Amino acid sequence: MKLILLGPPGAGKGTQAQQISKRRGLVQLSTGDMLRAATRAGTEIGLKAQALMDKGELVSDEVVVGIIAERIGQPDCKPGFILDGFPRTLQQAAALDRMLDDKGDRMDAVVELRADYNQLVERIVGRYACSKCGEGYHDRFKRPKVRGVCDVCGSTEFTRRADDNAETVTTRMMAYYRETSPLIGYYFCKGILHVVDGMAPIDEVSAAIEGVLAKLP
Ligand code: ADP
Ligand code: ADP
Ligand code: ZN
């Protein structure tokens, strides 16, 4: 199954992608995570991307399309994958269609996590993740079962993203409105858009997504 999670920053794409990936054994492909890994590795792409990410602006289509094209060609993506944070522009969506088309393939579903913009700042500034396994948490909405200990791997080290501050949120939301929200219409017209309420509690969102996936042909 090939799935896209679509929604503004903080809508819950990463959280839900992690859960679907565990439930269904599909690879989670997050361009944000890949770009942050490139930044940590100090590659040329990573360093260029970092300046844009810190400001909350989008990285070029060329760079992210290149990263995804390389990644989805790998054997672990054969059974399917979940795209989280890609595509973010119409150009990226068209490039993705071409990539799959060349292999006689196509996306199965796009799940839009519909968000209440008033609540996204709180979602974003309270976000953190396990440094070791990447499991996502929130100061208020998703705390580890034992305080300071990752539920998944037991690590006691956590990180917060440099761009998760109130200042960049507006820029990121604007990038979403301008560049990414047109994809809602794009996928609606292709007949593969499904809308889920992203403001419900995490488990309810997961159940709603499962409901959508269960009905796919
Ligand atoms: P995105 O990948 O769309 O930017 P995340 O999945 O990282 O969003 O979620 C942003 C923050 O909000 C995280 O700290 C996450 O734990 C929390 N979160 C995600 N989904 C929900 C939800 N349905 N209700 C409350 N908090 C949530
Ligand atoms: P979120 O959805 O929580 O805003 P991501 O981790 O998906 O965060 O993205 C973080 C940053 O990485 C974005 O603000 C942007 O600078 C860059 N980025 C990630 N994916 C893309 C993409 N598909 N196209 C352009 N820039 C991207
Ligand atoms: Zn962990």
Q: What is the pLDDT along the chain (217 residues), one digit of tens a residue?
A: 999 999 999 999 999 999 999 999 999 999 999 999 999 999 999 999 999 999 999 999 999 999 999 999 999 999 999 999 999 999 999 999 999 999 999 999 999 999 999 999 999 999 999 999 999 999 999 999 999 999 999 999 999 999 999 899 999 999 999 999 999 999 999 999 999 999 999 999 999 999 999 999 8
Structure letter (DSSP) for residue 75: G
- The residues that bridge with 196 in the sheet, in sequence order, are 113
Is 161 labeled as catalytic in the residue annotation? yes
- Asked if 112 contacts 193 with a C-beta cutoff of 8 angstroms, the reply is yes
Is 13 labeled as catalytic in the residue annotation? yes
- The residues that bridge with 137 in the sheet, in sequence order, are 128
Q: Which atom of ligand 1 is nearest to the CA of 7?
A: 3
Is the backbone peptide bond immediately before 87 cis, with ω within 30 degrees of 0? Answer: yes
Question: Out of 88, 98, 106, 160, which one is annotated catalytic?
Answer: 88
Q: What is the DSSP string of 79-142?
A: T-EEEES---SHHHHHHHHHHHHTTT----EEEEEE--GGGHHHHHHTEEEETTT--EEETTTB
Distances (CA, A) of 200 to 18, 112, 195: 17, 13, 13
**DSSP H/E element including 18:** helix 13-24
Q: What is the pLDDT of residue 145?
A: 98
Q: Which atom of ligand 2 is nearest to the CA of 127?
A: 3
Distance 152 CA to ligand 3 centre (A): 5
Is 140 labeled as catalytic in the residue annotation? no
Nearest ligand, CA 18: 1
Alpha-carbon distance of 173 to 191, in angstroms, equals: 26
Alpha-carbon distance of 189 to 66, in angstroms, equals: 26
Is 88 labeled as catalytic in the residue annotation? yes
Q: Does this model's pTM top 0.85?
A: yes
Is 103 labeled as catalytic in the residue annotation? no
Tell how far CA 102 is from the center of its chain: 24
Q: Which atom of ligand 1 is nearest to the CA of 113?
A: 3
88 lines ligand 1 (CB under 6 A): no
For ligand 2, atom 1, which residue shows the shortest CA distance?
9
Q: What is the pLDDT of residue 217?
A: 86
